[in-house]
Amino acid sequence: MAHDYESSKKTAVKIITILAVITIAEVLFALAGKGYIIDGWHVPTAIMAGVMIIMSIAKSYLIIYEFMHMKYEVPGLVKSVLLPMFLLVWAIIAFLYEGDAWKGNRDTIKERNELEVNSLSGSTGMIYQMKKEEI
Amino acid sequence: MAETLTHTDTHEAQGGWDGASQPFKASYGKLMMWYFLLSDAFTFSGFLIAYGTLRVSSPTWPVPDFVFSTFPGGIHHAPLIFVTLMTFILLASSFTMVRAVQEGHQENKNGVVFWMILTIIGGFAFLGCQAWEWNNLIFEESVSYHTNPFGTHTEYGTYLEGDGHDINAGDTFVPGDSYLIHNHEGEWHHLQYEVTQGEDAGMTKKQSFGPKAFGALFFCITGFHGFHVFSGVLFLLIICINAASGLYVERKNGYEMVEKIGLYWHFVDLVWVFVFLVFYLL
């Protein structure tokens, strides 16, 4: 038992160290990818997002399996808690697709508003726009 | 009398279940804590997906490393440093919680109380940081649930006036550059600029507000998480006092309450991993 306790203490220190290192890596990557650390060095947004998401999932795996002791639970418990989370995969795809469609609608509305503005040739009340010669 | 005792014994031997066997070899309390956390995970996912949907639907979105770049002591232009500190505080408190649970397995009362007190301090430190962050956003930068002064340029241009902070008249900007519209005693100062390229070249425009939803989503989601941290700290306090009073020494399941609040506390940390990802990193 005493040996068990000592080794679990060591595991806890190891896991917290890995979590801290991943967090630092995430922040450094987030800043470096946007050109804060090396001037003019940028990483495409899609790659940035992918790497961040993978690192975050790795962190959550460590928290759930090591800190919350999920790895010592029976398979039935693990499945009944973790499998429902996969429903979110579709929720994320569907809602982001929906959000993109809203963006399309916003653009259409903006275009139509602009058409009207031009025919009225007056202030829109929405956007402060003036021709340069008018000031 | 003898019957009652036997009954209690079987009852406790089954980890709080009434039946003959323990489903999933877990005690009733622990299994229900897992299912509560599952439902809570869906609540948070709903919020974060709503954030993603609204963000994708907006033409521009405030850039996190511009919005979250202040640090206590009047330090500006320190992107993400303060939230990284908050993340480390929460991670550290997760570690101390693990240690408290381990001491509980050893039936070491003083160890449990010591590590739980450290966890509680971590929880309060995190809440303090969040209070500072909210205070800064609400009173210094005038973000509210209905107004978002953090905008992003979509055109090339030159400022015609300065704001007395970071922007001077004559400064140029490119699409994607961020700005903060300052509020002086209730009045918004939308700076004028001249568009230098594109369809509207030569026109004079004023800085417009950023997407409205940003403030509401930020305060709602970080507030909901902060509320979880706060209630977690309260439960930690109660369980710490119970442990210190020796209540769990006599219990058959020992320090299981410490394990259960530990699960909750790690979950709060887990949610922060994703709040951190969605609000600050992406």
Cβ-defined contact of A88 to B270 (cutoff 8 Å): no
* A68 and A2 co-located in one domain: yes
CB contact B78 to A (< 8 Å): no
Cβ-defined contact of B24 to A59 (cutoff 8 Å): no
Measured distance CA(B242)–CA(A51) in Å, rounded: 43
Angstrom distances, CA of residue B161 to CA of A79, A115, B124, B170, B213 = 60, 30, 43, 7, 28
* A4 and A65 co-located in one domain: yes
Which pLDDT belongs to residue B251? Answer: 86
* A40 and A6 co-located in one domain: yes
Task: List pLDDT tens digits, range B173-190.
Answer: 988 889 999 988 888 989
Chain B, 230-249: which have a CB under 8 Å from a chain A CB?
A: none
* A5 and A39 co-located in one domain: yes
* Nearest CB to B56; choose among A26, A91, A103: A103
* A5 and A62 co-located in one domain: yes
Instruction: Please list every residue in chain A whose beta carbon sits closer than 8 Å to the beta carbon of residue B42.
Output: 84, 88
Q: What is the ipTM of this complex?
A: 0.88
Give one DSSP letter per residue of chain B, joined into a string.
-HHHHHHHHHHHHTTT-SSSS-GGG--HHHHHHHHHHHHHHHHHHHHHHHHHHHHHHSS----HHHHT--BTTTB-S-TTHHHHHHHHHHHHHHHHHHHHHHHHHTT-HHHHHHHHHHHHHHHHHHHHHHHHHHHIIIIIS---SS---EEE--S-EEESS--SSS--TT-EE-TT-EEE-EEETTEEEPPEEEE-SSTTTT-EEE-----THHHHHHHHHHHHHHHHHHHHHHHHHHHHHHHHTTTTTS-TTTTHHHHHHHHHHHHHHHHHHHHIIIIII-
Task: List pLDDT tens digits, range A27-51.
Answer: 999 888 887 887 778 888 889 999 9
* A7 and A46 co-located in one domain: yes
Task: List pLDDT tens digits, range B109-146.
Answer: 999 999 999 999 999 999 999 999 999 999 999 999 99
> Is pLDDT of A133 > 60?
no
In a domain, A44, yes or no: yes
* Nearest CB to B270; choose among A30, A64, A128: A64
* A99 and A44 co-located in one domain: no
Task: List pLDDT tens digits, range A115-128.
Answer: 876 665 555 444 44
Task: List pLDDT tens digits, range B54-87.
Answer: 999 998 999 988 899 889 988 888 889 999 999 9
Instruction: Please list every residue in chain A whose beta carbon sits closer than 8 Å to the beta carbon of residue B86.
Output: none
In a domain, A129, yes or no: no
For the four alpha carbons of B100, B104, B106 and B112, in that order, the dihedral sign comes to positive
* A2 and A43 co-located in one domain: yes
Instruction: Please list every residue in chain A whose beta carbon sits closer than 8 Å to the beta carbon of residue B274.
Output: 56, 60
Higher pLDDT residue, A81 or B254? A81
Number of domains in chain A: 2
Which pLDDT belongs to residue A116? Answer: 75
Instruction: Please list every residue in chain B whose beta carbon sits closer than 8 Å to the beta carbon of residue A15.
Output: 98
Q: What predicted TM-score, i.e. pTM, was given to this entire model?
A: 0.88
In a domain, A78, yes or no: no
Give one DSSP letter per residue of B68-112, joined into a string.
T--BTTTB-S-TTHHHHHHHHHHHHHHHHHHHHHHHHHTT-HHHH
* A13 and A39 co-located in one domain: yes
Mean residue pLDDT of chain B comes to: 90
**Structural domains in chain B?**
48-143+213-281 (1.20.120.80), 150-206 (no CATH)
Cβ-defined contact of B270 to A60 (cutoff 8 Å): yes
Q: Which of A72, A98, A113 is the last residue of a domain?
A: A72
> Is pLDDT of B6 > 50?
no
* A62 and A102 co-located in one domain: no
In a domain, A126, yes or no: no
CB contact B270 to A (< 8 Å): yes
* A28 and A55 co-located in one domain: yes
In a domain, A6, yes or no: yes
Which pLDDT belongs to residue A3? Answer: 62
What is the span of the domain harbouring residue A94? Answer: 86-121
* Nearest CB to B266; choose among A53, A67, A77: A67
* Nearest CB to B102; choose among A9, A74, A107: A9
* A3 and A62 co-located in one domain: yes
Both tokens of A45, joined, read 């947004």
Both tokens of B12, joined, read 């406790």
In a domain, A1, yes or no: yes
Task: List pLDDT tens digits, range A7-18.
Answer: 999 999 999 999
Under the banding of pLDDT at 50, 70 and 90, the label for residue A2 is low
In a domain, A81, yes or no: no
In a domain, A130, yes or no: no
